Each structure stands twice: as C-alpha cells, then as structure tokens.
Chain A
Amino acid sequence: MQSLEEIGVGQTASIADVPGADAVSLRLLEMGLTPGVRVAVVGRAPLGDPVELEVRGYRLSIRRREAALVTVTT
C-alpha cells in the first residue's frame, strides 16, 4: 500500500485509509481526508516540504510527515 507522501506533484490518488488514532490522523479525517476521497498533489513548497493538496474542492497544506500517515491507492 502506498502512502500519500509518495504521490508526485500533478498526480491524483484515492484515499484508502488514515489508520492512526493520534491527534494528527484525526485532524486529517476531520479535514475531509476520508476513505474513498480523491486527492490531488498540486504542488510542493520551494524547499520540498510541505505539500499542497486538493481535496473535496479545496486546497490543503500538510507536511510530508503527515502525508505519510495517509494510505492511498492510485
């Protein structure tokens, strides 16, 4: 299973799960990164981190460490 961190700029993926029970994982779910949702990696900051996502019609910035908590299918 791939993690969202591995998805390149310009690619899209489908969220499989955010399996963690930690505060960050819960916040990601609350922000709409729920299983089945399509997510596009729109860009990366000039220094490589964080990444800019498009999810549920809005733009969200998360760090790579946080993207690693999300499993995806392409």
Chain B
Amino acid sequence: MTEPGGRERPLIVALVGNPNTGKSTLFTALAGIPTRIGNYPGVTVEEKVGRFSHHGRDVDLVDLPGTYSLRAQSPDEQVAVDVLCGRMRGVPKPDCAIVVVDASNLARNLFLTSQVLDLGLPTVVALTLGDLAAERGITVDADSLARRLGCPVIPVVVPQGVGVSTLRDSVVGAAAALPPPPPALAAHLADADAERPPAARDAIARYAWIDGIAADVIRRSDRTGRSRSEAIDAILTHRVWGTLVFAMVMLALFTSIFRLASPAMDLISAGMDGVAAQVEASLPEGPLRSLLVDGVLAGVGGVVVFVPQIALLFLFIAILEGCGYLSRAAFLMDRLLVGAGLSGKSFIPLLSSFACAIPGIMAARTIENRRDRLLTILVAPLMSCSARLPVYLLLCGAFVPDAAVVFPWLRLPAVVLVAMYALGVIVAAAVAFGLSRTVFRGPPQPFVMELPGWRWPQAAVVLERVREAAWSFLKNAGTLILAMSIVLWALGTYPRPVLPAGGEFTEAEARGEALRQSFLGRAGRAIEPLVKPLGWDWRLGCAALASFPAREVVLGTLGVIYNLGDVDPGDEEGGTMLVRRLKAATWDGTERKVFSLPVALSIMVFFALCAQCASTLAVIGRETGSWVWPVVTFAYMTSLAWLGAFAIYQLGTALGW
C-alpha cells in the first residue's frame, strides 16, 4: 500500500446507506467540504468524494447515492454496486465500506447492510439517529448488533460529535485488519420457497434473517403515547390542515425566489453596470470595448444574476428535505401530477420554474426516478417565468382592450395575462402526458417513497447543498452561457454598418441601423416569410431572433430596432415611448399598421411557449449530461410556439378581433 515516494496511498472508503439516514450529515462530519464533485462516467449520478486524515493516514471518502437495495435496478443502485465491487472507472475498489444505519428504522436499514456484507468488503456500521429512535421508545444494543453482524457497530450522534472519532479509528483499523464478515444468509436463502423469482426469494430470506437479529438487539420501552414525529405527521398530512400548511410553505418558497432574490439580483445588475461604466470610461470606443461591455460583461452579469434564485431555492429545498417535508409535499401533490405522467416530486421543480426555469430544473435533482426527472426537466421551461412577465404586461396594457369580462371588475387584459400562465401549464401537462405515453413508455414507475421521521435540518448539510448548487451552476452552465453571450454580441455587431453618406443620424438612429445591417438583422429579414403567417414584420422577427439567447432582451431590442436607442422599456417613460412607437409602426412601404390585438396575442403566445433562453438549455444539458435533451427541448418548444402563435393570429384575424 505504499506509493512511490514512501507515502502510503489514501484508503478508499465507500459511504453507503438508505436515503434519509443522515448520510450527508455524516459525510460532512467526517470529510467536510468535498474535494471532488462530478458525475460518474456515462450516467447522471453524482460522484462526491471528500478527504480526511486520521493518525497520519489519508482517507478518500466516496459518498454513494442513497439506495434501499443493491439489486441494481436504477442508475443510482448500479453506481453503488459498481463502486463497491471496484468496477467503476476512475474509482479504485474500496478498502472498506461504512454502512449508515438509522437506529429508528433498523429492520429496513439492515436489508441494505446485509447486501453490503455479502460483498465481502471490510465493513463498519455507523448507527445514526439514536435520538429519533429513543423518542419512539426504541434502543438498539450496538454491541449485540456488532456480534450478530460480525462487524464493528459505532453509534454516532453528529450534532454532539459522538462517535465520529471512533468511526475514523474503526475505518482506518478495519481496512487494514478486519477479515471479511462470514456469510450469514446462506442458510436462509437455501430454505426459501423455490416457486418465487430469485429476487423475491432473496428479499424474503434477508428479512427473515433480519427479524431474528432485530428481536435480539432492539429494546422497546413501554411507551404507548404518540411520538412527537407522529404528532407532527398527523397534522401535516391531514386533508385540511396538511393542505393549508402545504399551500403556505409553497407560497413562502415561491415568494422568496420571486421577491426576496430581486434585491440581490438588482445589486448584481447595478454592480455589473458599474464595472461596465468603468470599462467604458477607461477604454477608447472600438470593437474591444464593445466586446468587453456588450459581450463579456453582459454575459458574466447574465450568469451571476441567477445565483441568488438558485441559492434561495436550494436553501429552501435543503431545509425541507432535512426536516422530512419534501417527501410529504410529494405525497400531497402526487395525484395532481400523476395524470400528466409526472409524480408528486415534480411539484417543487415546476412551481419554482414560474420564477425561473434554471433553479427549477436544478431542483429536479430531488427526483430519484430517472424518467420522472427527465420529463419534469423537459416541461419545466413551459412554466411562464418572470422574464416573460414584462412582455405580457407591456402587450396586454397596450393592445388588449380594457373591456369587462362577465363582471365589471374583471378586465380583459388581466384575463389575457392569466390565460398566458394557464397556457404554459396546460401545454406542459399535455406534453408530459404525450411523452410519457410515447418516447418514455414503459412499465409503470413505482412511487414507493419513504416518509422519513421529522427532525431538525443540519446547518452544515443545508449550507453545503446551497454552495454546491450555486457552484455547479457557475462552473458548468455559466461558462457556456458566457460563450453564447459573446457569440450573440458578434452576430448583432458585425458586419459593421455602412451609413448612407450625407445623411445626419442621431445616435439612436445609428444604433438602429447597425442592428438592422448586422448578421442578426439580415437573418431577421431572411426569416420574414416564416414569421409573416404569425402577423409579424421582419423587425418583430428580428427582435424574436435576438431574444432566443435570453427572452428578457426583447423589449430592449425592439427599442433599438425602432430607433429609440437605449431606453429602458421597464420604466414608465421608456415603456410609454416604446408603446407609442409600436402603435405607430407600419409594414415597410405601406400605411398598414403592424400591431393589432391578434399580433399582440401571437407574440405573447410565442413567448409563452418558446425556448428563448440559452441559459435554460445549457442547464438542461448539464443536468441531463447529454446534448440530446436541450436540442429536443429547443425543437419541440419552438415548433409549439410557432404553431400556437400561428393559430391565435389566424383565429383572431378571421374573427375580426
């Protein structure tokens, strides 16, 4: 075990356990911040490795995905088996395994333990959540359990630091000295009913073995009252109170990513504007300054601006997950989503997507089932995000007549606004339903989900979750978003415009001319035949094209293209100016107005359904580990957007709106 240079190579220790056993808490307690986070080759299962030193020995702790079984039925289970057996590329065969066992839920946790013991690796059991067990009147005799399992069993209470050091001792000692435990199950397996499938026989035999052990090592006190956990559970899964609490928690979650994040986002924008002003002041006007300000800085700002929302959402998720509410939320909402081919776990990712699809898609990490996760990711961008709202508001305000609908207080612009949000939800449900019955057809996906006992979330685990989400976004998606921003800058800047000689141009007119003559402007003209059936002239086509990387730029682009210069269409004055200009716009060489109610509707429907967000596509690529899914998302959403816009425009025109 000695590397060249005399230093011993690090011990490889695998951390295995059921979900909700405090495995993450234990990882953080043992190894602190992970030294390596990534994906295992070829699968979207997270690889997390941390290092600690104990008595001069380096230990690499490999955190395996939380699993209930090693039957290798899901990608998570396959990874766990491959790592434990030394078959995973890039991960040496572990010298030792730590199995995390929840003392309050011993029998089911021993199932996985028995499978790990069968692998013949030196094994140490970390017995966690003894406090939760005690609350239920259960004590586990660690010494007898150790005798029965044939491996060390160390009770661990992470918040009090109990057992962590003993566990380290045991791991370093076990890896060197411990012989593999004896196969304890053979007799039971031989006894089992031969009629059943082997996997069923195996499971029944293991539980028979476990029941024998559990009877020996569990001491029950005569508590008959309900535990605190059960009392909380009775309220939070109650039909009325549970639903009410759920609505309040979700409202708080949604409001915070929608509103609480905005001061931080404004601060980032202001900071980036400040830096841009500095650069503008210190560099002469020219291509370099333009690249730095409109390409690089705009791109960096466009990346960093998402971090507050991502951090806040993951703060919420980590707290909800840590205390056990996340699976209750999925339990409450499952029926609603199952009709669309999704599951209860899709709810929080989809809800978050109304603020922004990027944190929403990242939140889909909490969905273990691969098919459900992919479906959720694919439809999440259809939820109307906050970047669509300014477009809806401007167009509803300017072009939808302020008429009463049924009631005098119910105004048509408000109805149209709500309809745009509803459109996204309905189309998402239809797409998920369609995909789940075609591309993703297969045997029914199980929704066998543990509802873990209530407990306090661990601050260290929560913060690590937030840090990891923000960092992985910046590192992986961020670089790509930045690159795309620079490409877009080039397309909107080159070729440099040729201004007709002799004419006097204001700066706004020159900016407009530059955009019209750029590659982007030319592309806008080229696609006019494509957008004409939607009721759009080439300027609108151009603005739509420019907003593919990020839909929030559309109003700004419209401002530039209509020679308003850099007005801010978000503020009162800029908005009024833009509306006035749009209302006056005519088709080239005619007196015919471009904008009408059907055109406004067609633009809104297009924006509601279109994948105009390069950042979202980059995140889909990162989260699915494949370039296929961003391409699929882009293609299906853009097609639907065109069809939807076409339908509403033609319908509106035919009905004479």
Interface residues of A (CB under 8 A from B): 18, 21-32, 34-35, 37, 42-50, 52, 56-63, 65-66
Select which of A29, A37, A57, A66 is within 8 A of B138 by beta carbon. A57
A29 B203 Cβ-Cβ under 8 A = yes
Count of chain A to chain B residue pairs whose CB atoms are closer than 8 Å in the complex: 121
B335 A49 Cβ-Cβ under 8 A = yes
A30 B451 Cβ-Cβ under 8 A = no
**What are 10 contact pairs spanning A and B, CB under 8 A?**
A18-B200, A21-B196, A23-B443, A29-B204, A30-B69, A34-B208, A44-B239, A50-B331, A57-B136, A58-B452
B200 A45 Cβ-Cβ under 8 A = no
Asked if B334 is at the interface (CB within 8 A of a chain A CB), the reply is yes
Q: Which 4 pairs across A and B sit closest by C-beta, in order of nearness?
A: A47-B335, A59-B451, A29-B203, A21-B197
Asked if B6 is at the interface (CB within 8 A of a chain A CB), the reply is no
Select which of B104, B330, B452 is within 8 A of A57 by beta carbon. B104
Within the complex, the shortest CB–CB distance from A36 to chain B, in Å, comes to 9
Q: Which of B105-113, B175-183, B267-275, B608-616 contacts A (4 or more CB under 8 A)?
A: B105-113
A24 B203 Cβ-Cβ under 8 A = no
A34 B203 Cβ-Cβ under 8 A = yes
The listed residue with most B CB atoms (<10 A of its CB), out of A21, A31, A49, A61, is A61
Asked if B71 is at the interface (CB within 8 A of a chain A CB), the reply is yes
Note all chain B residues with C-beta closer than 8 A to A35.
204
Asked if B73 is at the interface (CB within 8 A of a chain A CB), the reply is yes
Report the separation of the CA atoms of residues A28 and B448 in the bound assembly, to the nearest whole angstrom: 7
Residues A59 and B334 in contact in the complex (CB < 8 Å), given A26-B197, A29-B203, A31-B68: no
Note all chain A residues with C-beta closer than 8 A to B453.
58-59
Note all chain B residues with C-beta closer than 8 A to A28.
448
Select which of A21, A48, A59, A66 is within 8 A of B448 by beta carbon. A66
Report the separation of the CA atoms of residues A63 and B106 in the bound assembly, to the nearest whole angstrom: 24
**13 other contacts beyond A34-B208, A50-B447, with CB at 8 A cut-off?**
A18-B200, A27-B446, A32-B108, A34-B207, A46-B242, A46-B243, A48-B335, A52-B451, A58-B105, A60-B448, A61-B330, A61-B448, A61-B450
Which B46-90 residues sit within 8 Å CB-CB of chain A? 68-69, 71, 73
Within the complex, the shortest CB–CB distance from A3 to chain B, in Å, comes to 16
Note all chain A residues with C-beta closer than 8 A to B196.
21
B107 A56 Cβ-Cβ under 8 A = yes
A63 B334 Cβ-Cβ under 8 A = yes
Note all chain B residues with C-beta closer than 8 A to A58.
104-105, 108, 450, 452-453
Residues A66 and B451 in contact in the complex (CB < 8 Å), given A26-B200, A49-B338: no
Select which of B68, B237, B238, B444 is within 8 A of A65 by beta carbon. B444
Select which of A18, A26, A29, A61 is within 8 A of B451 by beta carbon. A61
B105 A30 Cβ-Cβ under 8 A = no
Within the complex, the shortest CB–CB distance from A71 to chain B, in Å, comes to 14
B336 A47 Cβ-Cβ under 8 A = yes
- Residue interface bits B228-245, CB-to-A below 8 A is 1, else 0: 000001000111001100
Asked if B215 is at the interface (CB within 8 A of a chain A CB), the reply is no
A45 B207 Cβ-Cβ under 8 A = no
Select which of A34, A37, A45, A56 is within 8 A of B334 by beta carbon. A45
Report the separation of the CA atoms of residues A28 and B443 in the bound assembly, to the nearest whole angstrom: 15
Residues A61 and B335 in contact in the complex (CB < 8 Å), given A18-B200, A22-B443: no
A24 B105 Cβ-Cβ under 8 A = no
Which B600-643 residues sit within 8 Å CB-CB of chain A? none
Note all chain B residues with C-beta closer than 8 A to A59.
233, 450-453
Within the complex, the shortest CB–CB distance from B521 to chain A, in Å, comes to 52
Which residue on A lies nearest to B68, using beta carbons? A30
Report the separation of the CA atoms of residues A60 and B69 in the bound assembly, to the nearest whole angstrom: 16
Note all chain B residues with C-beta closer than 8 A to A50.
331, 334-335, 344, 447
Note all chain A residues with C-beta closer than 8 A to B68.
27, 30-31
Note all chain A residues with C-beta closer than 8 A to B208.
34
Which B437-484 residues sit within 8 Å CB-CB of chain A? 443-444, 446-453
Asked if B327 is at the interface (CB within 8 A of a chain A CB), the reply is yes
B237 A45 Cβ-Cβ under 8 A = yes
Note all chain B residues with C-beta closer than 8 A to A60.
448-451
